[in-house]
């Protein structure tokens, strides 16, 4: 699974870790995260994330 980076703050969403504090279980692909999920660091939405290269 691919990792995604929040462009404004640099937070990396790693699907192997998920975001347990945000209700996202480990093993959840970025595409499967609900659209109302926000970056745990800066609070911006999924639309500011880009695939890590």
- Whether 22 has a binding-site annotation, put simply, is no
Distance CA(50)–CA(53), nearest Å, equals 9
- Whether 6 has a binding-site annotation, put simply, is yes
Q: Which H helix or E strand runs over 1? A: none
- Whether 42 has a binding-site annotation, put simply, is yes
Distance CA(46)–CA(9), nearest Å, equals 13
Q: Which residues are annotated as a binding site?
A: 6, 9, 39, 42
Q: Which residues are annotated as a binding site for Fe cation?
A: 6, 9, 39, 42
């Amino acid at each position: 699974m691919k990792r995604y980076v929040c462009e404004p703050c640099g937070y990396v969403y790693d699907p192997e870790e998920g975001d347990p504090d945000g209700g996202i279980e480990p093993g959840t692909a970025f595409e499967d995260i609900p659209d109302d999920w926000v970056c745990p660091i800066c609070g911006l939405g999924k639309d500011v994330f880009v695939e890590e290269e």
